[in-house]
Copies of this chain bind each other. A is one copy, B any other.
Amino acid sequence: MKYCSISEAAAAFKMSESMLRYYERQGLLPLIERDEAGRRIFSEDQMALLRTVNCLKNTNMQIKQIKQYIDWILEGDTTIERRLEMMKRHKQAVLDEIASMTESLQGIEDKITRYTTSMEEKQS
């Protein structure tokens, strides 16, 4: 069982150390162990949890909602149905957001086309 320091965990997920401390404070990373000197040590389980938190954060889930999810994990198997429902809802929210961005992307591509044409005309 290998343990990571906070700097290693931060590097692994391209987060700042203060972000990890902040997440712990917000209850997103419960049960993080400490070494004899009081320093955080991240077990493989904690790294797995951090990976999950990171997925949710990356897809714009709010801290409060991630905390709810973590709380349900801590509560045990009786909350699996609620967790499943949350993940299904979130999946849909992510798909909707991707669709919305993709649609707006078209507007941006239209600008690129117009400006490119305009530049070519200037050339000639």
Q: Which A residues form the contact surface with B (CB < 8 A)?
A: 51-52, 54-56, 58-60, 77, 80-81, 83-84, 87-88, 90-91, 94-95, 97-98, 100-105, 107-109, 111-112, 115-116, 118-119, 122
Q: A104: which of B55, B87, B108 is its contact (CB, 8 Å)?
A: B55
Count of chain copies = 2
- A112-B88 in contact given A94-B105, A107-B51 (Cβ < 8 Å): yes
The answer, among B51, B54, B94, B111, for a CB contact under 8 Å with A52, is B111
Partner of A119, one of B81, B97, B98: B81
9 contacts between A and B (CB under 8 A): A52-B107, A55-B107, A56-B104, A56-B108, A58-B101, A77-B118, A83-B111, A84-B119, A91-B109
| Majority SS at the chain A contact face | helix
Q: Contact check, B111 vs A87: say whether CB atoms are below 8 A apart.
A: yes
- The answer to whether A118 and B80 have CB atoms under 8 Å apart is yes
Contact call A58/B98, Cβ cutoff below 8 A: no
